[in-house]
């Protein structure tokens, strides 16, 4: 099958599932390698986490310190490494509505199956790491969503509008405005609601499926059935990054102390298994076919 056609079919199926609220489950990647692992595990899609990109590529907190082009490079590499749809976290869109237009063009051209745009004041601050964040005026935020919807070439490239408002009624009102402006999906932050009833009210009020980042109480308290009742997409955004950090910290501490890898607390993937995972057999096959040596 043509790879391009396969990706197009996957994109259409992804968009249809999300819009029909046949919940797409994903996990948060932070580079191309983690994206491959998420696909290998069996997730429906990959979400490129801005939190993870900042941590992995800058070793810095999620405060919109990386540029649009830096984020774009990570997303492009990840898209090229997997066959499932990839959702790009484009933060505030890197400017006003005109900047958002360029941002959406670039990420769609890179192969993103969806983009998440938030209504924070730029430069953003991560709401799970600070006490509170500022949001821009609802009309300005709706204008950015409208610009994003206008400029996308493929209507199946989903626009996920995230609101960082923490007042439930304000979040619902903003969600309605963003849907009217062209958003396909609405994403509240975990701090906004404290029960499934609040999420149900937002789903009903906005009239489109929600995108949920499974963090905090959502991760601990909601069942898969609860999630499926409101969400077109659900993402375990930080589990991959936090798993990798914990495992590396434990093994590296022992390695530095003992100068030996014989008694590491965490198992290590075998060399051959990693070669298989990362695709060396395919490269070797291509080398044998095309290199005249």
Q: Return the exposure string of 36-65: e unless at least 16 CB atoms fall within 10 Å of the residue's CB, then b.
A: bbbbeeebbbbbbbbbbbbbbbeeeebbbe
Catalytic residue among 13, 44, 62, 91: 62
- Peptide bond before 265: cis, by omega within 30 degrees of 0? no
Asked if 62 is an active-site residue, the reply is yes
Helix count (H) and strand count (E) of the chain?
13, 8
192 vs 171: CA distance, rounded Å: 8
- Write the Ramachandran bin of 40: left for phi over 0, alpha for psi from -120 to 50, otherwise beta: alpha
Q: Which residue has the tokens 């590529």?
A: 57
Decide: residue 267, CB within 10 A, 0-12 exposed, 13-18 middle, 19+ buried.
Answer: exposed
Give 174's contacts (C-beta < 8 A, 6+ positions apart).
119, 135, 138, 141, 163, 165
Q: Which residues pair with 89 in a beta bridge?
A: 116
In this structure, the strands spanning 231-236 and 114-118 are unpaired
Angle value at C-alpha 196, between 12 and 185, nearest 5 degrees = 25
Coil, helix or strand at residue 264: coil
d(CA 184, CA 200): 17
> What burial letters (b/e) apply to 161-177, b meaning 16+ CB within 10 Å?
bbbbbbebeebbbbbbb
Comparing C-alpha atoms, which of 1, 24, 146, 163 is closest to residue 86? 24
Hey, which residues are catalytic here? 62
């Amino acid at each position: 099958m043509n790879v391009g056609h396969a990706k197009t079919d996957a994109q259409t199926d992804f968009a249809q599932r999300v819009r029909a609220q046949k919940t797409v489950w994903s996990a948060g990647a932070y580079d191309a390698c983690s994206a491959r692992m998420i696909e290998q595990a069996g997730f429906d899609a990959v979400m490129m986490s801005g939190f993870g990109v900042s941590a992995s590529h800058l070793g810095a907190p999620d405060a919109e310190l990386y540029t649009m082009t830096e984020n774009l490079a990570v997303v492009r590499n990840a898209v090229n490494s997997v066959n499932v749809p990839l959702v790009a976290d484009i933060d505030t869109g890197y400017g006003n509505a005109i900047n958002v237009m360029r941002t959406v063009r670039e990420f769609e051209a890179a192969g993103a199956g969806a983009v998440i745009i938030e209504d924070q004041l730029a430069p953003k601050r991560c709401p799970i790491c600070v006490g509170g964040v500022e949001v821009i005026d609802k009309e300005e935020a709706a204008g950015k969503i409208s610009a994003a919807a206008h400029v996308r070439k493929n209507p199946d490239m989903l626009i996920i509008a995230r609101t960082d408002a923490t007042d439930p009624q304000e979040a619902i009102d903003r969600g309605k405005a963003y849907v009217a402006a062209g958003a396909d999906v609405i994403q509240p932050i975990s701090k906004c609601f404290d029960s499934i009833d609040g999420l149900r009210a937002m789903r009903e009020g906005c009239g489109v499926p929600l995108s949920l980042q499974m963090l905090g109480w959502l991760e601990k308290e909601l069942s898969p059935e609860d999630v499926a009742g409101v969400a077109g997409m659900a993402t375990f955004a930080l589990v991959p990054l936090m798993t990798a950090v914990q495992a590396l910290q434990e093994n590296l501490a022992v390695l530095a102390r003992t100068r030996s890898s014989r008694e590491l607390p965490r198992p290590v993937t075998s060399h051959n298994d990693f070669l298989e995972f990362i695709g060396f057999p395919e490269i070797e096959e291509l080398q044998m076919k095309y290199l005249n040596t």
